[in-house]
Amino acid sequence: MITIPPALQPPSRLLLGPGPSDAHPRVLRAMATPLMGHLDPAFLVIMAEVQEMLRAAFRTSNRLTLPISATGMAGMETCLVNLVEPGDRVVVCNAGFFSNRMVDVAQRCGTEVTEIKRPWGEVFTFEEIAEVVRRVKPKALGVVHAETSTGVLQPLDGLGALCRETGAMLVADTVTSLGCVPVELDAWGVDAAFSCSQKGLACPPGLSPVSFSQRALDVLHNRKTKVQSWYLDLSLITQYWGQDRSYHHTGPISMIYAIHEGLRVVLEEGLEARFERHRRNYRALRAGLEALGMRYVAPAAHQLPELNAVYLPAGLEDLPVRKRLLEDYGIEIGGGLGELKGKIWRIGLMGCNSRADVVYSLLGALERVLVQFGVVVAPGAATAAAQQAYAAGN
């Protein structure tokens, strides 16, 4: 006979890893709203409002802008399986864990992938990308705008024009950038972009916003073969999210409530104000972490304000410190992935977690834990450095 476990009583956590981040309290309240049918006329209105707010967040007029009913990696797969076919050529800028995953997904689509490689933590120049794209003339160019494994913000300026010159589709991973730093799909000429719900939008994981330009739609509608994934076939999904509102799958009602409220929070704050808030708190956190002797993986001009990837102090082990932070202070930070596993910490200040009190709480707790593990730190140095950064306002 089965023993029924007790009711859920999860411990309280401050989620400062690479994601998920804490959901905004308003989002959690919205998720408690009673369910309705996924084809209910009232729910269809909510869906349309989500699409319009996503366009504002992505800064695009793309008609095909909607949340895929799955997590962020489904967004990556959605973009690729809809745009490329077996035998097509794809170029991917590969300098991290998630750009490497883009290579894998593209190869699974049967494409011929050319990788432009750099060491993890470095940034690609326009010139090196342009040389390869002009030579290979791919169907698609894949770029990670915000590389979650290294904390690198990759500029996309000029790549849209390059892709139009060569006939390629520009595919951008904005999983860790949407809602934290500017994402300008129309201005940059991005043809297909994907993101997630659990980072800058301060919602639980479960949705992956995507947006396709008219160029990308033309490619989709002129395919020679069927999209290899039935569930992620946008020609079918858009019949549910478009004017027809015909059944494709049962939409995740509560998650649509969540992203609806999360986007309302984003747009009420204002995108520019939100970006500046993330930059301000990042500057304070960076000052504190550097006062503790840590250095960033990404170069200074290309550091993500929402995802701080820093090398561990010399001689420390990764997991024991993170475990102590979690057990003693209820604070979660992330470890490294791939070749940076055990070498770095990834500290997220995303969405509603990008706040001064969070910065001070983390720095105070981290300083105390580091001292316990034998790191020599001047008492209060980290919080003092953060305070000075806030006071300087730069």
Structural domain boundaries in the chain: 25-267, 271-392
Q: What are phi and psi of 268, to 5 degrees?
A: -65, -40
* pLDDT recorded at residue 394: 60
The 8-class DSSP code of residue 302 comes to G
Element (H, E) at 76: helix 72-83
The 8-class DSSP code of residue 6 comes to P
State the Cα–Cα distance between residues 342 and 312, nearest whole angstrom: 8
pLDDT at 51 over 80: yes
Average pLDDT, the chain: 97
pTM of the model: 0.96
Least confident residue range of 19-28, 101-110, 233-242: 233-242
pLDDT at 1 over 90: no
State the Cα–Cα distance between residues 309 and 349, nearest whole angstrom: 11
Sign of CA dihedral 202, 207, 208, 212: negative
Helices 318-329 & 356-372, crossing angle to 10 degrees?
A: 120
Q: Which residues contact 182 (CB under 8 A, 6 or more apart)?
A: 59, 271, 275
Alpha carbon separation from 340 to 121, 142, 152, 331, 345 (Å, rounded)? 10, 22, 14, 21, 9
| CA-based nearest residue to 182, from 281, 53, 272, 259 | 272
| Neighbouring-strand partners of residue 307 | 348
Alpha carbon separation from 230 to 81, 140, 165, 235 (Å, rounded)? 10, 21, 32, 10
Q: Where are the beta strands (DSSP E) in 280-337?
A: 307-311, 331-332, 334-335
| CA-based nearest residue to 206, from 219, 190, 218, 195 | 195
Mean pLDDT of the region 323-335: 98
The 8-class DSSP code of residue 121 comes to T
* pLDDT recorded at residue 243: 82
pLDDT in tens, 336-382: 999 999 999 999 999 999 999 999 999 999 999 999 999 999 999 99
For residues 287 and 389, is the Cβ–Cβ distance under 8 A?
Answer: yes
* pLDDT recorded at residue 246: 87
pLDDT band at 71 (very low <50, low <70, confident <90, very high): very high
**CATH T-level fold of 271-392:** Aspartate Aminotransferase, domain 1 (3.90.1150)
Mean pLDDT of the region 14-38: 97
Enter the CATH code of domain 25-267: 3.40.640.10
pLDDT at 128 over 80: yes
| CA-based nearest residue to 139, from 224, 219, 193, 62 | 219
For residues 204 and 20, is the Cβ–Cβ distance under 8 A?
Answer: yes
For residues 342 and 335, is the Cβ–Cβ distance under 8 A?
Answer: yes
Q: What are phi and psi of 192, to 5 degrees?
A: -150, 130
pLDDT in tens, 203-256: 999 999 999 999 999 999 999 999 999 999 999 999 999 888 888 999 999 999
Residue type, 151: G
Query: Torsion angle, CA of 282/287/292/296, rounded to 10 degrees?
Result: 60
